Amino acid sequence: MSAPPAPAPEADEQTTATSHPFLPLSDTVGRKPLLLAGSVGFLVLPVPAFLLIGTGHWIWVFVGLLLLGLPLLCLLATMSSVLPALFPTALRYGALAIAFNVSVSLFGGTAPLAVEALVGATGNDLMPAYYVMAFAVVGIIAVATLKESAGKPLEGSPPSVATREEARELVQAQYERS
């Protein structure tokens, strides 16, 4: 009797595996530079990517998808650390769940309808690229107003220490301040 086939990796595992090189980078250079790189990538790469995809030849389709995937990795590698930092601890999970899910539903859920309507109204097959570019501008503005969270504790979170000596120093510092 043979063993059953191994299950396919879940989407989260695939995302983590492909974004892994970017994960440490968000801690060293910061989240804002990676978010900005992803947003700028989505501003300048969609038209060439969609033109390549439109050729229909598998190698150019692959290259076009790769051009769209690279800025996406910059965004995905930072989202799990950036989004929670937007909300104070007491509201973090509820506020994040509501904001994220409403945003994804409102913008991601309606994107195919909006893009199809734009293509139908204009006859321009590059409208999906322009749609992505328009939201990239929104992303760039959002990143510009974002506070950098790399290397900083989350607002309202308790301090963390690696050794007993660090804990003593922290308690002593807090004691001296009060």
- The per-residue pLDDT for range 114-156, each reduced to its tens digit, is 999 999 999 999 999 999 999 999 999 999 998 887 777 676 6
Q: What is the mean pLDDT of residues 9-17?
A: 52
**61 occurs within a structural domain:** yes
Which residue from 158, 152, 151 is spatially nearest to 174, judged by alpha carbons?
158
Q: Which domain holds residue 62?
A: 19-148
Q: For residue 16, is pLDDT > 90?
A: no
How far is Cα 169 from Cα 178, in angstroms, rounded to an integer?
14
How far is Cα 153 from Cα 132, in angstroms, rounded to an integer?
33
Q: Do 65 and 49 contact (CB within 8 A), yes or no?
A: yes
Backbone torsion region of residue 151, taken as left when φ is above 0, otherwise alpha when ψ lies between -120 and 50, otherwise beta: left
**14 occurs within a structural domain:** no
How far is Cα 87 from Cα 89, in angstroms, rounded to an integer?
6
**30 occurs within a structural domain:** yes
Number of domains in the chain: 1
**10 occurs within a structural domain:** no
Mean pLDDT rounded to a whole number for the chain: 84
pLDDT at 15: 52
Chain centroid, CA 148 distance in Å: 14
**106 occurs within a structural domain:** yes
Q: What is the mean pLDDT of residues 56-63?
A: 96
**128 occurs within a structural domain:** yes
Q: For residue 12, is pLDDT > 70?
A: no
**7 occurs within a structural domain:** no
pLDDT at 121: 97
Range among 47-51, 83-87, 93-97 with highest mean pLDDT value: 47-51
pLDDT at 68: 96
**Beta strand residue intervals within the chain, DSSP E:** none
Choice among 44-48, 144-148, 171-175 with the minimum mean pLDDT: 171-175
Q: Do 160 and 153 contact (CB within 8 A), yes or no?
A: yes
Higher pLDDT, 64 or 5: 64
How far is Cα 37 from Cα 39, in angstroms, rounded to an integer?
6
